[in-house]
Amino acid sequence: MKRILFAVAACSVLAACGPKPATFEIEADGVEKATLDVCDQKSPMKKAGKVFTVDRKLTCSGEGDIQLKYTNGPEVACHIQYVSANFPGHWKYFAQGGQCGLDSLENKNVPNPKPKPAATNAPAANEPAKK
């Protein structure tokens, strides 16, 4: 019995340490249904207005699609170039006129670059002052 409880506890801890979910979002007018297809798994996306979202734990590295079903009939596949379990983030796409594109990617695991210093008219330390 103790072995079973230990196994259950270990599985719970390991699951918590597993891959973090990635969020996929697409903004698309006139779409009735969106489905994420990555890692050989399809996940229906939740609709809020014209934005569809889904959280998924990634179990592979590779490519995929967001498949859109427009209310007037056509279906469009928005290509996702590369995903990885080591690179979860918030992937934002857009679809307009049957075309798709990546809008932005926010990844909490990658630090933001240092901000550039503000422009100034003061001379550099090694430059003589201009008259």
Hey, where are the domains in the chain? 20-104
Look at residue 5 and give its three-state secondary structure.
helix
pTM to 2 decimal places = 0.67
pLDDT the model gives residue 17: 59
pLDDT the model gives residue 73: 84
**Nearby residues of 82 by Cβ (< 8 Å), 6 or more positions away:** 61, 62, 63
The structure tokens listed for 81 are 């170039």
Segments of the chain with pLDDT less than 70: 1-19, 107-131
**Nearby residues of 81 by Cβ (< 8 Å), 6 or more positions away:** 63, 102
The domain made up of 20-104 is a member of CATH 2.60.40.2890: yes
Starting from the edge strand earliest in sequence, which strands make up the sheet with 61-70, in order? Answer: 41-44, 31-38, 61-70, 75-84
